[in-house]
Amino acid sequence: MTELDYYEVLEISKDADKSTIKKAYRKMAMKYHPDKNPDDSEAEDRFKAANEAYQVLSDDEKRAIYDRYGKAGLEGHGQGGGFSSAGFDDLSSIFEEMFGSAFGGADFGGGRRQRKSYNYNLDIGIEVEVEFNEAIFGVTKDVTYKYKDACDTCKGTGAKDGKLSTCSTCQGQGQVHIRQGFMTFAQTCPHCQGTGESKAQNCKKCSGTGYHEKEDSFEVSIPEGINDGNRIRVSNRGNIAPDGTRGDLYIQISVKEDSHFIRNGDDIYIEVPLFFTQVALGGNIKIPSLRGELDLEIPAGTKDKEQFKFRGEGVKSVQGYGKGDLIVQIKITYPKSLNKEQKELLTKLQESFGIESKPHESSFESMFDKVKKWF
């Protein structure tokens, strides 16, 4: 069997520094982790190989031995006393960064992590859609949602009569120890999910789930200035645990788009179409805003896509930082067709401007003179 090259496993060069090694390992672990690749033996092997490589290359002493003697030089190194806890702590922090508590509270090397465990998450999330103007000015919405309440028959255990037995997989420890190469680490027991207990028979009332699903309705106040993707936390509206602890409800706001106004942060953009004669002559026009009409003075000769700003006419900041601005962008429009009279009038108008109406000709004259000098 071909011996693994730890540098090739992590896809790094032999002079890679610790930061590069850690970054490469994080990438491999994220890509090949069993939770992301269920029933994929190849991904599992790659994950184990990456763990093994990182344990060696992240430790200066082991790396020096490996670089000089290869894997054979590590045989017996650290046996009995085990590897330094620093390596395991480092692995633990990496997995915590990538997976958080969702990784199952894997504890590399140290003792069992003590935390309260329930059969379901206490916090829940829902999405509420609001109109564009409702997000701008605020609104009160009726919200109906479902939540979990612990089964009173089994006290949330999911077991018949609420009686749990010691988990046979982890012997009540809540963790199983997995050996990968010469590395051993502890992982949350997949059978009991870290509780150390299991059920022999399911509770008939809740079918073993440990909870009943209920429905609730209430009014929620959507604050003025809220934006798409913002979340509102409503305390004590989440799922209910067996001990009465209740989580929170998180409402994610989805804001519908408007056919005219475009929002960017607390600023509002609107495109105003103007006929080419209007921008040529200039003048005063009325434009729509969030709170009514505004007067806009158009200077003669205004360019296409030119912008005008109305300070404080945007959205009120939901954080209380004042109001954004209204930005008006001009879009110059032209006639799609001309009748005979219109063509004659435009021709006369163009001739009245003389050379000013043909700026390309005066520009080209100097260019033609420049080119002639080349020959």
Instruction: Residue 367: give the domain boundaries.
Output: 340-372
| Total residue length of the chain | 375
Q: Which of 57, 58, 54, 55 is nearest to 82 (CA)?
A: 55
Residues 10 and 68 in one domain: yes
In DSSP terms, which residues pair with 252 in a beta bridge?
127, 231
The verdict on residue 169 lying in a domain is no
Residues 6 or more apart in contact with residue 371 via CB below 8 angstroms: none
Residues 295 and 204 in one domain: no
Residues 216 and 150 in one domain: yes
Residues 270 and 155 in one domain: no
- Residue 237 is part of a domain; what is its CATH number? 2.60.260.20
Q: What is the pTM of this model?
A: 0.58
Contact 56, 63 (CB under 8 A): yes
167 is an annotated ligand-binding site residue: yes
**pLDDT of 146 above 60:** yes
Residues 243 and 140 in one domain: yes
Residues 266 and 251 in one domain: no
Percentage of the chain surpassing pLDDT 70?
Answer: 81
The verdict on residue 225 lying in a domain is yes
Minimum mean pLDDT among 116-130, 175-189, 297-311: which range? Answer: 175-189
How many helices (H) does the chain have, and how many strands (E)?
9, 15
pLDDT band at residue 157 under the 50/70/90 scheme: confident
189 is an annotated ligand-binding site residue: yes
151 is an annotated ligand-binding site residue: yes
Host H or E run for residue 19: helix 18-32
Longest CA pairwise span in the chain (Å): 104
The verdict on residue 76 lying in a domain is yes
The verdict on residue 189 lying in a domain is no
363 versus 248: the higher-pLDDT residue is: 248
Residues 20 and 141 in one domain: no
Residues 270 and 251 in one domain: no
Number of domains within the chain = 4
Give me the DSSP letters along 33-63: -TTTSTT-HHHHHHHHHHHHHHHHHTSHHHH
In this prediction, residues 312-339 reach a mean pLDDT of 94
1 is an annotated ligand-binding site residue: no
Axis crossing angle, helix 85-99 with helix 41-57, rounded to the nearest 10:
130
The verdict on residue 109 lying in a domain is no
Residues 6 or more apart in contact with residue 24 via CB below 8 angstroms: 10, 11, 12, 16
The verdict on residue 39 lying in a domain is yes
The verdict on residue 89 lying in a domain is yes
170 is an annotated ligand-binding site residue: yes
The verdict on residue 138 lying in a domain is yes
pLDDT band at residue 73 under the 50/70/90 scheme: confident
